[in-house]
Amino acid sequence: MFALVDCNNFYASCERVFNPDLRDKPIVVLSNNDGCVIARSNEAKELGVPMGAPAFEYEKEFIKHNINVFSSNYPLYGDISSRVMNILREYTPDVEVYSIDEAFLKFDGFEYYNLNSIGLEMQQRVTKGTGVPISVGFAPTKALAKVANRIAKKYAEKTNSVYVIDDENKRVKALKWLKIEDVWGVGRKHTQRLNNIGVINAYQFTKLSDSWVRKHMSVVGLRLKHDLEGKPTLDLDSPAKKKMIATTRSFEKMLLEFKDVNERVGTFAISCAEKLRKQKSHCNAIMVFVNTNGHRKDLEQYGRNIVIKTDYPTNSSIDLNKYAQLGLKAIFKQGYHYKKAGVIVMGLTPENQNQLTLYSKPNPKHSPIMNIVDRMNIAYGNNKIKFGTQSLGRQWKMKQEKLSPRYSTNLNEIITVTV
């Protein structure tokens, strides 16, 4: 059996953990730079705040309905997510962290256990240990576990947020209830195609022929169909390493001078290098791009990118900073107002599998230097150690005007209790 554990309104729930006064009050969490709504509590949903709502357009609505607005606090959310996943691993070692607020669990050898009781116990342990409420769905396959979780969340009062699909009648009833557009992995185009042939719910989808599904939805759609039929086809996935890594930003203001854009591009390249080392990868190519402000029709527009192949696989900040500067010099044009730039590293390979070259090789001093830099940045805070091309006094910060404290990851922001 599989279980899908989903944290309810995760970002909003995290904000409530250290601020109990927010319970039963409407909450919305905004995207990077406080742009739009990316998370809502149930109370905010009932007030009609849509997902993706631009914050500036709904500012009056937030005030009118006393909606609590927060900037995204990713250090807090990531730490609480890690705590939730660690508790779940106490029940089975087979855990696939699907997203920051979801995980699949595989329960082999639990045929004679009461899964509903296990689900309720998991729910109590996670809520007590982290303060975050969860919903749990059990089923013979991953796709059906998704359906079971949806039922557990939709009918929380009746199911106590735990639902088990463990027989054919429950499977059929659940699939007839689930609309085809709500099926995991069925996107908008497939929904339209299925609606055109009269498929409205998930059960009707499972009644299509394998040949039709494979022809119109590929082998991925066929696997999904088999999973919904109760035939285990999709197993737990191990976390995949990224095939490319990007760091891109819009500038706080438009930049005219090469030295200013170069400082930003160098910082982005160093950030990509840190991410490469974190996942133990090297890159074999680097792309640098710059763009002007497309919204300023009164200004001349310019945008260009360049890809540079590295002389050898590398994750050295020193190397990637050098290549990024070479790329920027090749595409930068004086006289334009630049608003955005970015660095993308590509052709990623494992750092322990290096293709040797005849004429060039990595500097053996770089690796130990990078290890020291990474350790010091972890110990004393990110970007404490900088390179010469970076501004020593500048810290890149998103617009986060409504940021809550990082209660669990920063000692200076730990919760204060008044007796």
**Cβ neighbours for 151, distance < 8 A, ≥ 6 positions apart:** 137, 159, 163, 174, 177
Distance CA 136, CA 258 (A): 54
Q: Are strands 68-71 and 27-30 parallel, antiparallel or unpaired?
A: parallel
Two structure tokens written together for 87: 């508790």
- What's the distance, CA 224 to chain centroid? 23
Distance CA 328, CA 318 (A): 16
List of long-range contacts for 98-103, beta carbons under 8 Å, 24+ apart: 98/4, 100/10, 101/6, 101/7, 101/10, 102/4, 102/5, 102/6, 102/7, 103/4, 103/5
Nearest 5°: the CA angle 159, 164, 169 is 105
What's the number of CA atoms in the CB half-sphere (13 Å) around residue 330? 14
Do the Cβ atoms of 405 and 18 come closer than 8 Å? yes
Distance CA 277, CA 271 (A): 10
Q: What is the DSSP letter of 370?
A: H
Active-site annotation holds for 401: no
Q: Determine the 3-state secondary structure of 54 from DSSP.
A: strand
Out of 15, 43, 102, 274, the active site residue is: 102
What's the number of CA atoms in the CB half-sphere (13 Å) around residue 21? 3
**Cβ neighbours for 291, distance < 8 A, ≥ 6 positions apart:** 302, 303, 338, 339, 340, 341
Any idea which residues carry the catalytic annotation?
102
